[in-house]
Structure 1
Amino acid sequence: MLQTVTATAKKLPEGLQVETSSRDFKILIDEPKHMGGTNAGMNPIEVLLCALGACQSICAASFAKKFGFEFEEFHIELAGDFDPAGFMGDPNIRNGFQEIRFETHFKTNESQEKAEKFADFIEDTCPIADNLTNGVKLVRTGVVRD
């Protein structure tokens, strides 16, 4: 069954700070000082990297038993290449990440082959990875003047 997830993002008065919320949770998002922000929180592309890592971590924990894969610890190291010139208006440079790389770490007694198969499963199952790999249709439903 299709579920709708909602969120809000509200520009705060100070610098480039934005308060985001979904359900009963909030995240403060900002930009570093060299980009005009106050450095009070991660910027949106850092949040995206964290969302990808968190999603894959949740998939690992959620599906390990079903997959028959045991591990003591799990983490992902992520890096993305971003050229701010695109965001600042250079039409020859993409606005977003050029590439995202990640390395999956398991503390496990499972074989390397089984770890790689489980990592493939995690990547194929992760909704954030799916959105990044396959894109998602963005639909602006209106512009409201309050």
Structure 2
Amino acid sequence: MNGRNGVDMERVKTLKAVMQENPAAGRRTLSGITSWNGGAHSTTIVRNFAVPADEPAVLGGTGRGASPTELMLTALSACITIGIAYSAAEDGIEVDSIEIDVAGDLDLRGFLNIGDLRPGLAEIRLAVRVDADAPQELIEELVDRGYRRSPVAASLEGRVPVRVCIGREEATLSEPRSGA
């Protein structure tokens, strides 16, 4: 692939120009389909990718995939990594490596309906390391921009409405259900 940091900036610039002229060109509906495989194991097909999910044995699963919460943490850190790489490419900065340690605190009592705890993470922590030929201040700016341009981070922070339908009806409920 041509471009700095493996990012085809010509394609990105072309798409950006098209979207500036026609904002509707930037709107996408992302989708997948998840099938239950028994127990806690499922497989989601997204584009041409099969993504397994399962719970560890301690939670009654078989460990045949990362847990859904681990996949969410993975999505967050991957999205921020991409944002950093793109930001660096836009600025003409060559990056040698980007690594993110991601961790989240989960109290399983919420999932298991013990007490009235909310299921979900209490906090997510990211430790970002960027090796690039740039001063520390610029690396900090790249990390900040990578975070700010992350759709996953924005979705987690903004509590995106989740619409749930039963059966084969389209997800067109007028009011989102809370708790997601």
Q: TM-score, normalised by structure 2?
A: 0.75
Distance in structure 2 (CA, Å) of the matches to 1:106 and 1:77: 12
Residue 11 (1) aligns with residue 36 (2):
yes
The answer to whether the Cα contact below 8 Å between 1:67 and 1:118 also exists between their aligned partners in 2 is no
Q: 1:60 aligns with which of 78, 84, 95?
A: 84
Displacement after TM superposition at 1:57 (Å): 1.3
Distance in structure 2 (CA, Å) of the matches to 1:91 and 1:121: 39
Distance in structure 1 (CA, Å) of the matches to 2:148 and 2:92: 17
Displacement after TM superposition at 1:70 (Å): 2.9
Distance in structure 1 (CA, Å) of the matches to 2:114 and 2:147: 32
SS of the equivalent of 1:72 reads strand
1:43 paired residue number: 67
Displacement after TM superposition at 1:91 (Å): 4.3
1:96 paired residue number: 120
Distance in structure 1 (CA, Å) of the matches to 2:128 and 2:92: 18
Alignment of 1:58-137 (within 5 A): 58-137=82-161
1:24 paired residue number: 48
The CA RMSD over aligned residues, in Å, is: 1.4
* Rg comparison, structure with higher value: 2
Unmatched runs of 5 consecutive residues or more in structure 2: 1-23, 169-180
Tell me which amino acid in the other structure corresponds to 1:6.
Answer: S
Tell me which amino acid in the other structure corresponds to 1:103.
Answer: A
Q: TM-score, normalised by structure 1?
A: 0.92
The answer to whether the Cα contact below 8 Å between 1:69 and 1:118 also exists between their aligned partners in 2 is no
Tell me which amino acid in the other structure corresponds to 1:8.
Answer: I
Distance in structure 1 (CA, Å) of the matches to 2:139 and 2:117: 37
Tell me which amino acid in the other structure corresponds to 1:71.
Answer: V
Distance in structure 2 (CA, Å) of the matches to 1:99 and 1:3: 29
Aligned residues, how many? 143
Displacement after TM superposition at 1:144 (Å): 1.2
2:167 paired residue number: 144
Distance in structure 2 (CA, Å) of the matches to 1:8 and 1:61: 29
- Identity over the aligned pairs, expressed in percent? 31
